Amino acid sequence: MSGLPVEKNGEYEADIVGIGHEGEGVGRVSGYTLFIPGALPGERVLVKAVKLKKQYGYGKLLRIIQASPDRISAPCPIYSQCGGCQLQHLSYEGQLRFKRQLVIDNLERIGKLKVAGGTSAASSGKSDEAAGAAFQDASHAAASPSTAATKGIVVHPTLGMEEPWRYRNKAQVPIGFEAASADREGGLVGGFYAQGSHRIIDMDECLIQQENNDRVVAEVKRIARELGIRAYNEETHKGLLRHVVARYGFNTGEIMVVLITNGESLPHVDELVGLLRQAIPGIKSICQNVNKERTNVIFGDKTKVLWGDDVIYDTIGAIRFAISARSFYQVNPVQTEVLYGKALDFAGLRGEETVIDAYCGIGTISLFLAQRARQVYGVEIVGEAIDDARRNARLNGIRNVQFEVGAAEVVIPEWRRQGIAPDVIVVDPPRKGCDAALLATILEMRPTRVVYVSCNPSTLARDLQVLEEGGYSTVEVQPVDMFPHTVHVESVALLVRNGTDR
């Protein structure tokens, strides 16, 4: 491409100034941005330019000339192939700094908000929302937000884990065929997709999965091979076994196995159940979910119990949860307690408040809030989740909570017409952020506090800007590392209505 300071397939030395939204290094060559997988901020590397666009390009890391002090050897043997983790080559302390800076960058660049002591890292060259954020060496020396001299939003250091491995309580593993070779037929494999593809990397161990989930996946693959159960082929839409889902209760030790099949008939089902029960101590539930569609969506609409119970149980703090095959339940229960504990702190409840929990899911945050509020109202558009929420409320004997199915922006105004006036509104939206109508409803209802739980810093920043323009001030944001060794970060933000006591 003419006019660029680099040429395709040319080799260049690049200074790495940040991390992009997929964990790749953000490099500069004569002012031009190259995204370089495997490179880290502070490094100087030799890179081959492999794909060029007008504003930015992509490079292949050839050699590290000067390494970052945060660089470590990734412990996972398939890390370079698997797309599940992006940051295993970055020290855990470096990951926590990056995630805080990711939040700061989005607040400043997308939300146009002032952060106390925050300095937005250099723009990566992509659009704000697509690029993620870079963090620079300056973040190493960032002052504690609590001592920030200038006014603005306090962004606290990221709350990490003492042991950032083996934290996931749910595995969703695609099953497929290993490519055949000249001397053997392709066999059943299960693992994770290679980066940027649907090619399955066969594996029996994942270092961020709880060990029992690894065992479940390995045993299902072994037993399926023994019984001749055919793997699903997404290209031909033939074969039976599509996915294995394993769920584990961290605090109960209970295990659920869900077999996702391309059809209702499961051959050798009694033998399969018997072998699974024999191989996996602690198993409480074996289910089959039927998904006959040509789709990347894992679950179908029909689930049946092959053996045991339809749920397993786990606890977060003092709250007990029933978890079904398709229930949404946070995959890192240790950090979920940290995240929800912070949301509860930000809500500032004293026992007399009315609270609305939008996007309440199966009631996890609602039930935490109900321990300190007078009354909690939860709304969720997924009816199955509301059924779970009501069951979980009964399970814990919590009566000061009411759940309703529907869109938050429809149900909450109806509650307002009924005279319900919330002191606090809590939102925990999906990655796309809050619906614009819901934000408008929040501004109309004028709660004293809004607590925003976010899994996406860019949509968090966008929505905070709307709420700030509507009469609220963002006081503080707490990043929480729910997904160590990945680029994802959760945050809890506290907003207070202007003119009220903070």
Residues linked to residue 379 through DSSP beta bridges, in sequence order? 358, 404
Task: State the pLDDT at residue 496.
Answer: 98
Task: State the pLDDT at residue 431.
Answer: 94
Residue with tokens 């161990």: 205
pLDDT digits (tens, 9 = 90+) for 425-441: 999 999 999 999 999 99
Fold equal for 11-66 and 170-316: yes
pLDDT digits (tens, 9 = 90+) for 201-239: 898 899 999 999 999 999 999 999 999 999 999 889 999
Domain 332-497 bears CATH identifier 3.40.50.150: yes
Share of the chain above pLDDT 70, in %: 91
Report whether pLDDT(291) > 80.
Answer: yes
Please report which confidence band the pLDDT of residue 127 belongs to, taking 50, 70 and 90 as the band edges: very low
Instruction: Please tell me the distance from the alpha carbon of residue 278 to that of residue 390, in angstroms, as a whole number.
Output: 34
The arithmetic mean of pLDDT across residues 100-112, rounded, is 96
Architecture field, domain 170-316: Beta Barrel (2.40)
Catalytic center residues: 455
Residue with tokens 């412990």: 75
Instruction: Please tell me the distance from the alpha carbon of residue 10 to that of residue 278, in angstroms, as a whole number.
Output: 58
Sequence-ordered alpha helix ranges (H) in 169-307: 211-227, 269-279
Report whether pLDDT(123) > 60.
Answer: no
To the nearest 10 degrees (0 to 180), the angle between helices 408-417 and 436-445 is 20
Task: State the pLDDT at residue 150.
Answer: 42
- Burial class of 173 by CB neighbour count within 10 A (0 to 12, 13 to 18, 19+): buried
Report whether pLDDT(477) > 50.
Answer: yes
DSSP-derived letter for residue 444 is H
Residue with tokens 């693992």: 191
Please report which confidence band the pLDDT of residue 119 belongs to, taking 50, 70 and 90 as the band edges: low
Instruction: Please tell me the distance from the alpha carbon of residue 325 to that of residue 332, in angstroms, as a whole number.
Output: 17
Q: What is the mean pLDDT of the chain?
A: 90
pLDDT digits (tens, 9 = 90+) for 275-288: 999 999 889 999 99
Report whether pLDDT(148) > 50.
Answer: no
Three-state DSSP class for residue 410: helix
DSSP-derived letter for residue 146 is G
CATH topology of domain 11-66: OB fold (Dihydrolipoamide Acetyltransferase, E2P) (2.40.50)
Residues linked to residue 283 through DSSP beta bridges, in sequence order? 255
Residue with tokens 């680029």: 487
pLDDT digits (tens, 9 = 90+) for 21-50: 889 999 999 999 999 999 999 999 999 999
Instruction: Please tell me the distance from the alpha carbon of residue 23 to that of residue 39, in angstroms, as a whole number.
Output: 9
The arithmetic mean of pLDDT across residues 186-199, rounded, is 82
Report whether pLDDT(121) > 50.
Answer: no
Assigned token pair, 432: 């796309």
Every domain of the chain and the residues it spans: 11-66, 92-155, 170-316, 332-497
Task: State the pLDDT at residue 343.
Answer: 97
- Burial class of 341 by CB neighbour count within 10 A (0 to 12, 13 to 18, 19+): middle
| Out of 234-238, 256-260, 461-465, 478-482, least confident range | 234-238
Q: Report DSSP letters for 154-188, one per residue.
A: EEPPPB--SS-SS-BSEEEEEEEEPPPBTTB---E
Please report which confidence band the pLDDT of residue 501 belongs to, taking 50, 70 and 90 as the band edges: low
First to last CA, the chain: 54
Residue 438: how many CA atoms within 13 Å on its side-chain side? Answer: 24
pLDDT digits (tens, 9 = 90+) for 332-348: 999 999 999 999 999 99
Residue with tokens 């490079």: 59
Report whether pLDDT(138) > 70.
Answer: no
pLDDT top residue among 120 and 130: 120
Report whether pLDDT(396) > 60.
Answer: yes
Instruction: Please tell me the distance from the alpha carbon of residue 415 to that of residue 378, in angstroms, as a whole number.
Output: 11
Please report which confidence band the pLDDT of residue 122 belongs to, taking 50, 70 and 90 as the band edges: very low
